[in-house]
Chain A
Amino acid sequence: MTFPLRGLLLILPLLVVAALLPLGVSGYILGLLTVAYYFAVFSMAWDLLFGFAGEVNFGPTFLIGLGAYGAGILNNRYGIDIPLCLLAGTLLAVVGGLALAVPALKLSGPYFGLVTLVAVLLLQNLIVVFSDLTGGEIGLTVPDVISIDADTNYWIALGFMAVSGLILTAIARSPAGLILQAAGQDPVVAGALGFNVAKHKIAAFAVSAAFSGLAGGLIVFYMGTASVGTLIDTAVGVQIIIAAVLGGRRTIVGGALGAVFLIAAGEILRPLGSLSTFVVSAAALAVILFVPTGLLGLASLRRAS
């Protein structure tokens, strides 16, 4: 139980440095990092399912999309205040996520993952079909934004990431998180120990959906727009998954590191042109193949040796 403290001591300086960045960094970089921090929450929420509940959710963008479009449409069509929109979007993500997870978790093996993948395609199509409401392929614009000040937006994103990371880590390390890990690793043994495996996995899915949906809503009110290409496309989902695996499975915080790393690497390698995506993907592949425990796993290996 001393480990969380040590982790906090490592992360706190990073957060302080991050909080001071607006004093000396250009608005462009702040903008990139703001987006990176929201993606960090997506990845951390995803790791709760993959790393702890043992379920591969190929559709993180389904949950994000529900939150983003739920919040965005309410603001766009009915002019409802941002906090209420965010709340409604989060709720929609949780409800939609549960509607998906409850039947899907009855399936075993790779079928849960396939169901989540299909859900993304379904949502994508719905948005295009109901373009009057959703803006279709062009996208949805919201009249209200959280702030027009880059620094404020940056700090809100950073704070949101830090709080989300703290809550998700606390859940993962709690006694309930221990049961969740047992359910994920060996559902038969967990069941024989008296734990209702489905209940714990569904709860984890709801928590993951809540954070994904809220982050999705926040990113809409940061950018002022929502579109299928930036928030829902399966390619976006793959990025989130890569970030979480890259950072380190079963670490929560690893997802944040991975997301920032991916966005930063993409930016640094931008001079390579279209090659940059290839290089980043190749690097991610190398990490997954050779260090399946991710960047944080690499760090802890160092410490152990």
Chain B
Amino acid sequence: MTVAVKPPTAASVRAEPCLTVRGLTKRYGGLVAVKGVDLDLRPGEILGLIGPNGSGKSTVMKLVMGLEKPSAGSIRLDGTEIAGWPAHKVARAGIGLVFQHARPLMRQTVLENIVLALLPDSLLRLVPDPSVTEKARAIAERVGLGGVIDRRPGTLAFADLRRLELAKAIARDPRVVLVDEPFAGLTGPEVATFSALIRGFRDEGKAVLLVDHNVKSVSALVDRVFALYLGERIAEGSAESVMADPTVRRVYLGGSIETAARPEAAFKAESLLSVEGVDVLYGKAQALRGVSIHVHEGEFVSVVGLNGAGKTTLFNAVSNLVPHAGTIRFGGQDLATLSPAAIARAGIVQVPETRELFGDLSVLENLDLGGHHLPKAEAAKEREKLYDLFPILKAREGQSARTLSGGEQQMLTIARALMMRPRLLILDEPTLSLAPVILEQLSKALERLRQTTPITVLLGEQNVTFALPHADRVYVLEQAKIVWEGPPDRFATEMGAAYL
């Protein structure tokens, strides 16, 4: 991002593709995660595979690497069909994967971790080969790990752990390198060094596939972008042309979004929830950096941010599920000393993105568990209101939650949370991997909820189409920091371009 030099692409375009993917499809039960993807990757080229959460981009990467078996389609590496091969065979054929989460051997040194990647797959290597160690040292120097070569990974800084993953990929010397979210969790200068290292792959004539959420983070590095949405290609071409593509803009920013924000002054002056200067560290990665937000009673606030920006962490900090610095107050009360259960009883109900339904219990039983603190008659009344809001749940009343579709499960999760009569409802990515038609139903239900009840909602979303229409106020969370705050109608003009 800090390096904006546009690489020359003429030479790479001429070369024959070394990786050809045709009609690649992956089904998980009824869900089609990848639908007939065609993709070419040439030596000396960096291709960015982008798509929002749930678009299938990670699945494509796993299919190519052999970590998942495709349901249909062909993957050819220099003419050899490798679709369905186990990962170790794919790796030996010449494809390498740089994992997003560094998972080194913790009891071995940095050097030994690199040595591992240099070893042949042999049972009979019982004596260490000094030339391998020398090679490992050279690789460590190249990626900037020279100074920490004898340390254990547990003592390394986050960026160094990422370097170690790159070092392992370099050690395997693959012809095709897949990189999963290359810059996640890195600071500006670190992004520049990593960009240079990845460019090094291209300069050696390797083909590089970067998988990331948006064009912006990889635009300075890639020769070409392939945009994926709901398992299908929606655009392909230069970073500029993909960013200008109307379909891409609609997926990331929504079409013409009608907003109905109520001005902040319409609410009571003091906040129901106030989060001030909250910091969260996951090991060495900073997940939240001085985040401050506030929500008034009756207000609908959206926190918009890509996957990994820190939305779930923020909500978990509010519910005291992760250790954090800074203060969080709810109705004037400091939440620091309260347990997650006490916070829920105080009125903050969180709907996690993982839904956490009781799969073997029926819809009715799940709802009753949500309303177990209410007197019976009250609970029944509340339930009827929710059935009115989500009529499909009434039709499915006796069905076990596991058998519901994804959209129905999401409705049930929200309904169950509402049974607890929250003072503040936190919704974490309710649209995760839902089809557009379901999204619309959910959107209508939320709008009705907002119009007819005094409910206070804090919504975390990467899907702007869903997050903006109901919101009174919007925060943008980017790489652990709040970077923008404002009414939804100003979002597209002020933040739209940056969000792509």
Q: Using a CB–CB distance below 8 Å, which chain A residues touch chain B?
A: 1, 170-171, 174-176, 178-179, 181-182, 185-186, 188-197, 199-200, 203, 250
3 closest A-B pairs by CB: A191-B87, A194-B91, A175-B125
Contacting residues, chain B, for A174 (C-beta < 8 A): 125-128
Known contacts: A188-B67, A191-B91, A197-B88. The answer to whether A178 contacts B122 by CB under 8 A is no
Interchain CB contact under 8 A, A193 and B126: no
Contacting residues, chain A, for B122 (C-beta < 8 A): 176
Interchain CB contact under 8 A, A195 and B88: yes
Q: Using a CB–CB distance below 8 Å, which chain B residues touch chain A?
A: 65-67, 86-88, 91-92, 96-97, 99, 103, 105-108, 112, 115-117, 119, 121-129, 132, 168, 172
In the complex, the chain B residue whose C-beta lies closest to that of A184 is B105
Partner of B91 from A170, A186, A193 at Cβ < 8 Å: A193
Interchain CB contact under 8 A, A189 and B103: yes
In the complex, the chain A residue whose C-beta lies closest to that of B106 is A185
In the complex, the chain B residue whose C-beta lies closest to that of A199 is B123
Cα(A190)–Cα(B66), bound, Å:
12
Interchain CB contact under 8 A, A179 and B121: yes
Cα(A178)–Cα(B108), bound, Å:
9
Interchain CB contact under 8 A, A193 and B116: yes
Could you list 12 further interchain pairs (A-B, Cβ under 8 angstroms) beyond the known A175-B132, A176-B126, A192-B88?
A: A174-B126, A175-B115, A175-B125, A175-B126, A176-B122, A179-B125, A192-B91, A193-B88, A194-B91, A194-B92, A194-B172, A195-B88
In the complex, the chain A residue whose C-beta lies closest to that of B178 is A192
Interface of A is mostly: helix
Cα(A176)–Cα(B116), bound, Å:
9
Interchain CB contact under 8 A, B96 and A192: yes
Contacting residues, chain A, for B97 (C-beta < 8 A): 192
Contacting residues, chain A, for B96 (C-beta < 8 A): 192
Taking the nearest CB of chain A, how far is it from the CB of B324, in angstroms? 28
In the complex, the chain B residue whose C-beta lies closest to that of A170 is B126
In the complex, the chain A residue whose C-beta lies closest to that of B125 is A175
Taking the nearest CB of chain B, how far is it from the CB of A303, in angstroms? 15
Query: Can you spell out 24 A-B residue pairs with CB atoms less than 8 angstroms apart?
Result: A170-B126, A175-B119, A175-B127, A175-B129, A175-B132, A176-B122, A176-B124, A176-B125, A178-B115, A178-B119, A185-B103, A185-B105, A185-B106, A186-B103, A192-B67, A192-B96, A192-B97, A193-B168, A194-B121, A195-B119, A195-B121, A199-B121, A199-B123, A250-B107
Contacting residues, chain A, for B123 (C-beta < 8 A): 176, 199-200, 203
Contacting residues, chain B, for A196 (C-beta < 8 A): 86, 88, 121
Interchain CB contact under 8 A, B119 and A179: yes
Known contacts: A171-B126, A176-B125, A176-B126. The answer to whether A191 contacts B67 by CB under 8 A is yes
Cα(A175)–Cα(B115), bound, Å:
8
Contacting residues, chain A, for B91 (C-beta < 8 A): 191-194
Cα(A176)–Cα(B96), bound, Å:
21
Cα(A182)–Cα(B105), bound, Å:
7
Known contacts: A170-B126, A178-B116. The answer to whether A191 contacts B105 by CB under 8 A is no
Contacting residues, chain A, for B125 (C-beta < 8 A): 174-176, 179
